[in-house]
Structure 1
Amino acid sequence: MDLFSHSWAALRAAVAGLPDEDFARPSGCAGWLVRDLVCHLVIDAQDVLITLATPADAEPTRDAVTYWEVAATPPTGDDPLDALIVRLAAAYQEMPLLKFHLDDVGSAAGRAAGLADPGLRVGTRGQVLTAGDYLAAYVLEWTLHHLDLVTHLPDVAGPPAEGLARSREMLEAIAGTAFPRALSDEDALLVGTGRRAPTGAERAALGDLAARLPLFLG
C-alpha cells in the first residue's frame, strides 16, 4: 500500500509540474494527448474512491495479478468511456483547472488508500478483492500511465524505480514467465504491453516469449 501511495504521488507531481503547452502533446496511449491521459487519471482516482467505499461480503475472486484481463487486440478508442474521456478532456479550456481536478480527487484517493484496511474486501468490475490487492494492482496502472505521460516529455521525471520493479513482477506473473534480464524494467513494461515494438536485440533476447507479446491489459 505504501508503493501505491508513492507511485501515485510521483505521477501526480509529474502532472502538476507540466507547463500548459505540454498538455497538447501526444502521450504514450495511442490516440490520446497528454490532456486526455490526465483526464483518464481523474476517472481512475474516482474509481479508487468508489471501490474503497464499496465493501463486499463475498470471498475474493481476484488478486493483484488476476485483477487484470488480457485482451487479444489493442484498444481502438471506440469504447464509449474512452470516447467520453476525450470529449471531457477537450472541455477543459484551461489546463490549471484539469490539474486542480486531478490534485483534488487524486489527493482524496491517496488519503483513502492510506486509511484503508488491507484486508477489507471490496467490489469492483463485478469482482471481489481485498483492498490491499486492489491497491497493489493499481501500482501497475500508475506506473504504465506514468510511462505514457513522459513518452514525449523527456525532461519530466519518470516513475519511481520501486514501482517499475514491482510492475515488472506483476506483468511477468500475468505473462506466466520472466522477461530476460537484458531488458530493463521500463523496457520490459513498454515492450510487454505493446507501448513500443521490440528492437531486434530485444526480440532475440525474448526468444519464444516474443510471439506471445504484447499483452493488452484491461
Structure 2
Amino acid sequence: MDQVRTAFRDECARLEEVLRSLDEADLDRPTPCPPWAVRDLIAHVRTGAGRLVDMLAAPAPQRAEVDAAGYFGAAKFTPEVDQARIDSARRAAGESGGVPAVAADFGRAWRASDVAVAAQPPWRLVRTRHGDPMTLTEFLRTRVVEVGVHGLDLAAALDRRPWLTPTAASVVADLLTGGRPVPAELGWDPLTLIGKATGRVELTNRERTLVEAAGVRWLSFGG
C-alpha cells in the first residue's frame, strides 16, 4: 500500500501541476481518446481519481474476488460501458469551467481520495462501480494506471513531453506485464514499455517477435 499510495500521490500532484499551467484553448484540443477533447479526458480522470471517497463510505463486501489485473478485463470495455463512460465525462466536462476551476477540482478530488485511503487499513475491501469486490490496495493500483496512462494521452494532446513519475511508472509497468520481465534485448525504459503495452506506441515486427517468444502477455487495458 505504501508504494501504491506514493505513486498515486506523486502522479496526481504532477498532473495537477500540469493542469494549472494550461491555457483555455488547451482544453478544447483533441486527444488520442476520441471523441474526447482535453477537457473531457480531464473530467474522466478526475472522476476516477476521486472515486474512492464514496466507495470507502459504503459497506465493505465480504471478500475480494478481483485484483487490479482482473479489473481491466474485456467485460469492462463493452460498447455500452464505453458509451456510458464517454457520455459521463462529457457531461462532467460541460460543468467544469475554465482552467483554474478544472485544476482546482482535480486537486480536491484526488486529495479527498488520499485522505479517505489514509483512514483505512490496506486490507479494507471495496466494491467498484462494476460490482467487483477488491482490496483497497488493488483498487488504488488501478487508479495509478488510470491517472498515469491517461497522463500520457494528455501529454500527446498538449504536445508536451510525457511527465509520468518514476513511482507511477513502476506500478503501472509491473501491472501491465503481470510482473514478468520484458526481454532485455528490447532495451525499453518504463515509459516505452507502458506505451507499447497499452497500444499507445506501435510494436515493430522485431519487438512483437521478441515479446511473443518470451511469452509476455500484456494486460488487457482499454482506456
Q: Which amino acid aligns with 2:131?
A: G
Q: Does 1:180 align with 2:175?
A: no
The alignment's TM-score, normalised by the length of structure 1, stands at 0.82
Change (3 A) 1:80 1:67: closer
Alpha-carbon displacement from aligned partner over 1:73-99 (angstroms, at most 9, x marks no partner): 897996123123224324545232222
Corresponding position: 1:109 with 2:113:
yes
Aligned residues between the structures: 216
Tell me if 1:7 matches 2:11: yes
Distance in 2, Cα, partners of 1:78 & 1:130: 24
Assess, with a 3 A threshold, how the Cα gap between structure 1 residues 14 and 128 changes in structure 2: closer, same or farther: same
| 1:146 and 2:163 matched | no
Equivalence for 2:70: 66
Alignment of 1:88-167 (within 5 A): 88-124=92-128, 125-155=130-160, 158-167=163-172
Question: What code does the residue aligned with 1:198 have?
Answer: L
Tell me by how many angstroms 1:166 deviates. 1.8
The separation in 2 between residues aligned to 1:17 and 1:132, in whole angstroms, is: 31
How many angstroms does 1:141 deviate by? 1.6
**Partners of 2:198 and 2:126 in 1: CA distance:** 27
AA aligned to 1:180 is P
Distance 1:45-1:29 versus aligned 2 partners, 3 A rule: same
Residues 20-74 of structure 1 show CA distances to partners (whole Å, capped at 9, x for unaligned) of 2222222332332211111112211332212222232411111232222136989
Q: Does structure 1 conserve the Cα–Cα contact (< 8 Å) formed by 2:67 and 2:134?
A: yes
Structure 1 residue runs without a partner (length 5+): none
Letter in 2 for 1:203: R
- Structure 2: any 5+ residue segments left out of the alignment? none
User: Which residue of 23, 27, 42 maps to 2:46?
Assistant: 42
* 1:174-194, Cα deviation, whole Å (9 max, x unpaired): xx8543342222222222122
**8 Å Cα contact 2:63-2:133 kept in structure 1:** yes
Q: Which has the higher helix share?
A: 2
CA distance in 2, matches of 1:196, 1:214: 15
SS in 2 for 1:129: strand
